[in-house]
Amino acid sequence: MKLAVVGTGYVGLVTGACFAEMGHRVTCVDIDAEKVAKLKEGCIPIYEPGLKPIVLRNHEEGRLHFTTSLADAMVDTEIVFIAVGTPPGEDGSADLKYVIGVADEIGTNLSEYAVVVTKSTVPVGTAEKVDAAVRQALDKSGADVPFDVVSNPEFLKEGAAVEDFMKPDRIVVGVSSDRSREVMRELYKDFSRNHDRILFMGVKDAEMTKYAGNAMLATKISFMNEVANLCDRLGVDVENVRLGIGSDSRIGYSFIYPGCGYGGSCFPKDVRALIHTAGENDYKSLVLQAVHERNEDQKHVLFRKITARFGEDLSGLTFGMWGVAFKPGTDDIREAPAVVLMEELLAAGARVKAYDPEALEAARNELPGQWFANGAVTLVRHQYEALEDVDAMALVTEWKPFRHPDLRAMKEMMKQLVVFDGRNQYDPQSLKDEGFEYFGIGRR
């Protein structure tokens, strides 16, 4: 099939590359000419395991193309995916101006039947707005071209997006016509050869499924963080509690790891957007509001532990930080707990040495320039370089190389043997036996 994917960000690029990998002819569209030029040269703008070889291979073999022209991309195209950003407004609402702008351009260039698919995470009712925008553009040109709007939300984990796309748990497709249902079934048939993974439903149902899924996962995280904070006060080891409740098949082990909060471009934004949607419909979302508030506060837990140990004034102290990305497997630092901790440490007079396997370039580009100019923050190229002459180490992102630290090397490098474990990766007693002070989340 011939596809167009509008937007070459995280969702759009993964979507386009993976469909091309399955033999479809895909054109990815972006208004950023420099970005398109770099993609044509093989420069991938995001870090995602396994993505670069797929993009390079399919571009070289002629199945994956990049352009700034949606009009060119739509020639003979059967399906057009909208995968542009929906940045949050100050009130938590999702800004749909880019989605609607693309819909208008689709309508302007539509010459034969096509399925317009919203791949971006959008509020319930967005497909209706997309439909209206396409129809309005068609009316302006006097064209009478049939089309359908479908909701096909992505369920990709950053750090495992390619695998998630190629081997999905489920494929949620919201349709309003038999014709669009059959087009989408044909598109995804190769992803369902083992068993049918496609869940057809109403368009609004699909839009809500995406938000509800992310909100549920965020709820599990915030709930477990709440339990961990209570364990801190009761002298309970939350790791034993985690194992105890996770063994219940009704609960399971996924997303019940306590830590210093979730970040990224999905969970925080989607929880706020769903809270906003509830308010727009005269409904107060008590649970989701609590989930959001717990997570915002959780990002400050490590700093409170640091000041409890060292005092409010951290002048003259240096902290080594392992991890800057909001989670392992990505270079995304949006709403990352590490950034919050950095800001608090600097405000208290401390200096920071930080290391991350993939997010150093993003940190250098996106964090305030004055942090680096005045030497308050130093980004280093080796994880142990971040511990040279520091007064404490803070683990903020649970990358695999951090799981088994060289304690002997740490003892030789660090001025004070103090570890703040923001992801509960270490056994407290093992560190204490080696002379370290240990501070975890619900662990002592």
User: What amino acid positions are annotated as catalytic residues?
Assistant: 266
Place of tokens 């060119």: 72
Residue 265 DSSP class? S
**What residues contact residue 194 under an 8 Å CB cut-off, 6+ apart?**
none
Instruction: Map residue 135 onto helix, strand or coil.
Output: helix
97-109 helix and 126-141 helix, angle to the nearest 10 degrees = 40
User: Is 106:135 a contact under the CB 8 Å cutoff?
Assistant: no
**What is the sign of the dihedral through the CA atoms of 350, 351, 357 and 363?**
positive
Tell me how many degrees the CA angle 345-346-348 measures, rounded to the nearest 5: 65
The total of other beta-carbon atoms located within 10 Å of residue 424's CB is: 22
Instruction: Kindly give the residue spans of alpha helices, DSSP state H, lying in 235-311.
Output: 238-246, 267-280, 286-298, 301-310
Which residues make Cβ contacts (< 8 Å) with residue 391, sequence separation at least 6? 310, 317, 318, 319, 414, 415, 416, 418
